[in-house]
Structure 1
Amino acid sequence: MSLTTTLVPLAVALIGAFAIEAVAAPRRPSLRPADLAIRFIGYALVTLFWFQFSWRPWLAASSCLLTLAILSVVDRLKRQVIGEPVVFSDLALLAQVPRHPQLYYTLPLSDLRIAGPLLLGLAMVIAWYALEPTALPDGAGAAALAILGLPALLAALVVAGLSKPGQAALRRLFPRPDLTRDVARYGLIATMMGYGLRRLGEADVRPSPESAESAGSGGDNEIVVVVQLESFLDPARIGGPDLPVMGRIRAQAAQYGRLAVPAHGAYTMRSEHAVLTGLDPDGLGFGRYDPYLARKGDEPTSLARLARAAGFETVFVHPFHRDFFDRAQVFRRLGFDRLVMEEDFSGAARIGPYIADVAVAERILAEIAPGGDPAPGRRRFVFSVTMENHGPWNPGRLAGIDEPLAQYFHHVAHTGNAVERLIDGLAGRRAVLCVFGDHAPSLPDCRPPASGPLATDYALFRFGRGESGPPARIDLTAAQLGCVLRDALALKQAGLRG
């Protein structure tokens, strides 16, 4: 096969990929020659990636175009719902999609609407293999050398990107995370590759925890309960009902306010990580997009690690699968002694597809019941993540309620009931309760504003201290809330204020 026969499909792949992105992109792509060169290198590498599996030029070119088409569709949807382009760390979540399709707004592989196109695509690839001649050189030795050499070349490019000269060049192209700008300049593929290599080559970033304003010291608490409420914000802010719990927050909390979170409508792990570590995402470098993927729970400033060192028993309560976000492994490394996961909620009430928030509140209270824990006399730190109000809010989720926003309001009322149950259950004990929303809901009626992710709400209650001053309205970031919780855990007194 001649060189021309190989290069023509590559040229088609490069031009076609650029056309796909130019049509789908919300911003006009950069036409600067240097930017176009980086963009086309990305397209070429994708084409070579697919080429190594088949050695058929037109199949590889078509695979490149299909890859760009799928990425562009996903990117457009993601921007609409979350306000953020596709990023390299999203690829790590692909393994979760077949296991938890409902969380990613897709259908299971067994559904014919998914299985049908996949099987059709597989049949087309098999037919293409039969129809298009291979571009492998003649001779068994030369063919074997080519088959082994191309993957080795691609691997060598990755190694070169991780070398000091390679990282220096990448730092000039991608000095800091700026997805919107970089995708407009270099395209989705080159930006994903560049960000991935920047993350892999990044020195372990260990920023200091944020500072934060707090309404008083926590003192020597017996119990600290922190609950991350799925997709929670005051529903009155988006046209919903006035929840009784919001009135109690404004009347009884030590402090409350808006919480600036790292993402809109998704990426629970970002808010979770910020609160648990007190580390602002801006200080995490390119690991900010999925802190658990980047750091695997190795966090010296984790609230759980510091609390355990201060004599607390540490418990994580989450009514969902252990494998999701690799939480079972990550939370062990974060410093949690015990994990209470979905299997511990067998028989618990479900509202819609997930365990009810009130059931989670009851389990938390059982964990901290006097005399009920496995280490009597130890102070207890409980961190919980709820699930009831997780999307998608689709027709059929709730009997007689099909409109997404109405479903959300139905669930958020139960969230309010769960928080009130915790307030009542902790009253009179020397305890702290913190509740906060991880991100705004990904609803058509709650799109991300141009200014960034919509803030959620948080509240911090202190019990067992007699009369206190009026509640203080203090708006915080998620990382600053994590530092307020250090005081609630009395870590200053223990000399552990990382």
Structure 2
Amino acid sequence: MSPATFLVPLGMALAGSLVIEAAASRRPSLRPGDLAIRAAGYTLITLFWFQFSWRPWLAATSCLLTLAVLAVVDRLKRKVIGEPVVFSDLALLAQVPRHPQLYYTLPLTDLRIAGPLFLGLSAIVAWYVLEPAALPEASAPRLLAILGLPAALAGLVFAALTPPAERWLRRVFPRPDLAEDVARYGLVATMMGYALRRLGESRTRPVAPTPPVGAPAGPADEVVVVVQLESFLDPARIGGPDLPLMARIRAQAAQYGRLAVPAHGAYTMRSEHAVLTGCEPETLGFGRFDPYLARKGDEPTSLARLARAAGFRTIFVHPFDRDFFDRARVFARLGFDRLVMEEDFARSPRVGPYVGDVAVAERILAEVAEGSGRTFLFSVTMENHGPWKAGRLTGIDTPLAQYVHHVANTGRAVELLIDGLAHRRATLCVFGDHAPSLPGLRSPAEGPLATDYALFRFGRNAAPSPARIDLTAARLGCVLRDALSGKTEGLRG
């Protein structure tokens, strides 16, 4: 293969990719160093596709299609969530065909998806026939080339994790600044750079000391229930009606307030991780975009680990697929002994596409009542997960009306928990994981909208008067850590 055989298609891929990104977003940086890093990303994508076909023009076209798809997804993600595409999003690709409704797309069986996919595969097959492979004729050089290119690309990854390369990467990407880095280096180079920085951090991350936990004060049947409410905030804040639950919170909760969460409209796992570990996103480095992917549940400060060490039963309740976000594996490592997942809700009523929040509350109370001894239970609800679109609820078609219908059920579920736990010594905490991604709610570019939280303390002789105390999700996790250790009755934060 002569150099021109590959360089001409590569040049087309580099120029075309730059045009695609420039047309899809803001004007790219034209500084030579930034352009060089951007071009390196495009080149690596082209080589990645080239190793499968050894057809230069097919590889160049595949690079352009990759950038076009990324640009479309990036535009949608910025509009809905206010964040560019990031490397950790690739780990979620396997979930898209299984749960298309969660990703604002259609199932693979839909003709609007299946048709273009079939045409695309047909075009690739035809291209294989029409464009000859740029491989040597002799068997030995051909085999060497076929094996050598993948080995060289893998070698680049390992080389990027050597100390000199890591020092260079730290200069280029000193800290996560996603929007700025995408504008400078492009989507592809930024995704690669962030992935390598995260890999480097995972190899050198120091082990965090486990906070000391003593035997909690109080009776042996102490209960701590924490419920993460899907897309929950006070609906009155976004033009909805008053929720009866909010009046009870202001009158009965030990403390309540706004909760600053790590994401807007999505990325439930970020809020989960912050509350369960007490770790602020800034402390996670490049693992902040998907802490479950980066840290796999290896968290010395996990509430479940601390609870188990203090003699609590630890239970996780979530009425959805146990493999989503790899939750079954991650939550077992976080310290949960019992997982109550989608299969346990097979006969539970659904409200719209998901198991209703009231059914989840009933299951929580049943789990608490079933065993003896201290219990720590963490639950994640699902009913009010987006998207909110026509056909979701019979006779209710507008997104805000659908959201309000679901959040009313959320309010009834929380009130059920309040009534069910009020007769015993218990701590109940409820909080919203993120604001709903409702159209026209606000500009995601303004940053994540705070949700609401409330913390109730039952069975105490001197209950503190309700107080509004605004917290971050991680700080709420630290407050709950105190509830498990029995350090304080007030838990003001």
1 CA distance for matches of 2:209 and 2:104? 37
- The answer for the alignment partner of 1:327 in structure 2 is 327
Question: 1:394: Cα distance to partner?
Answer: 1.5
Length-normalised TM-score, structure 2 = 0.95
Specify which of 372, 387, 403 is matched with residue 382 of structure 2. Answer: 387
- Determine if the alignment matches structure 1 residue 478 to structure 2 residue 473: yes
Match of 2:394 in 1: 399
2:485 partner SS: coil
CA deviation vs aligned residue, 1:426-458 (integer Å, no higher than 9, x gap): 112100000000000111032344341111000
Q: Give the number of equivalent residue pairs.
A: 480
Equivalent residue letter for 1:383: F
Q: How much identity, in percent, do the aligned residues show?
A: 77
Tell me which of 218, 221, 226 is aligned to 1:220: 218
- Superposed, which structure 2 residues align to 1:210-359 within 5 Å? 220=218, 222-359=222-359
The structural deviation recorded for 1:476 is: 0.4
Determine the C-alpha separation between the residues in 2 that align with 1:225 and 1:219. 17
1:48 paired with 2:47, answer: yes
Aligned to 1:77: 76
- What is the distance in 2 between the residues matched to 1:207 and 1:270? 19
Contact 2:224-2:376 within 8 A present in 1 as well: yes
The one-letter code matched in structure 2 to 1:204 is: R
Q: Quick one: distance in 1 between partners of 2:273 and 2:466?
A: 27
- Written as runs of structure 1 = structure 2, the 5 A alignment for 1:94-493 is 94-202=93-201, 203-204=204-205, 206=207, 220=218, 222-369=222-369, 372-373=370-371, 376=372, 378-490=373-485, 492=487
Residues 206 and 24 of structure 1, relative CA distance in 2, 3 Å threshold: farther
Offset from partner CA, 1:253-289 (integer Å, 9 cap, x none): 0000000000000000000000000011110011111
- Conserved in 2, the CA contact under 8 Å of 1:259 and 1:455? yes
Give 2:174's aligned amino acid. Answer: P
Partners of 1:410 and 1:492 in 2: CA distance: 39
2:304 counterpart letter in structure 1: A
Contact map agreement 1:319 1:342 (CA 8 A) in 2:
yes
Whether the 8 Å contact between 2:426 and 2:458 is mirrored in structure 1 is yes
Determine the structure 1 residue equivalent to 2:491: none
Partners of 2:217 and 2:445 in 1: how far apart? 40
Q: CA deviation at 1:490?
A: 2.4
Closer, same or farther: CA 207–453 of 1 in aligned 2, 3 Å: farther
Residue 15 (structure 1) aligns with: 15
Distance 1:450 1:122, change over 3 A: closer
Q: Tell me the residue number matched to 1:214.
A: none
Task: Give CA-to-partner distance per residue, 1:226-262, whole Å, 9 cap, x none.
Answer: 0000000111110001000000001110000000000
Q: 2-side partners of 1:311 and 1:448: how far apart? A: 45
Aligned equivalents of 1:487, 1:469: Cα separation in 2? 16
> Is contact 1:264–1:448 with CA below 8 Å preserved after alignment?
no
Unaligned runs of 5+ in 1: 211-217, 494-498
Pairwise CA distance, 1:181: 0.8
CA distance, structure 2, for counterparts of residue 226 and residue 65 of structure 1: 46
The answer as to 2:29 corresponding to 1:5 is no
Q: Does the 8 Å contact 1:230/1:389 carry over to 2? A: yes
Tell me, what secondary structure is at the counterpart of 2:227? Answer: strand
Q: Cα offset for 1:205?
A: 5.0
State the AA in 2 paired with 1:335: G
Question: Relative to structure 2, which stretch is displaced further, 197-206 or 311-320?
Answer: 197-206
In 1, Cα distance between equivalents of 2:334 and 2:243: 34
465-474 vs 83-92, which moves further: 465-474
Q: Distance in 1 between matches of 2:479 and 2:255?
A: 10
Give the deviation of 1:2 after TM superposition: 3.2
One-letter amino acid of the counterpart of residue 11, structure 1? G
Task: Please say if residues 228 and 436 of structure 1, whose CA atoms lie closer than 8 Å, have aligned partners that are also in contact.
Answer: yes
For 2:377 and 2:200, the matched residues in 1 are separated by: 35
- Alignment RMSD (CA, Å): 1.5
Look up the equivalent residue of 2:311 and give its one-letter code.
Answer: G
Task: Return the alpha-carbon distance in structure 2 between the equivalents of residues 208 and 118 of structure 1.
Answer: 50
Q: TM-score, normalized by length of structure 1?
A: 0.94
Per-residue deviation, 1:155 = 0.6
* 8 A contact 1:207–1:284 mirrored in 2: no
Indicate conservation of the 8 Å contact 1:361/1:422, yes or no.
yes
| 1:386 CA displacement | 0.2
Cα-to-partner distance string for 1:77-118 (whole Å, 9 max, x where unaligned): 000110100000000000111111111111111111111111
Q: 1:356: how far off? A: 0.4
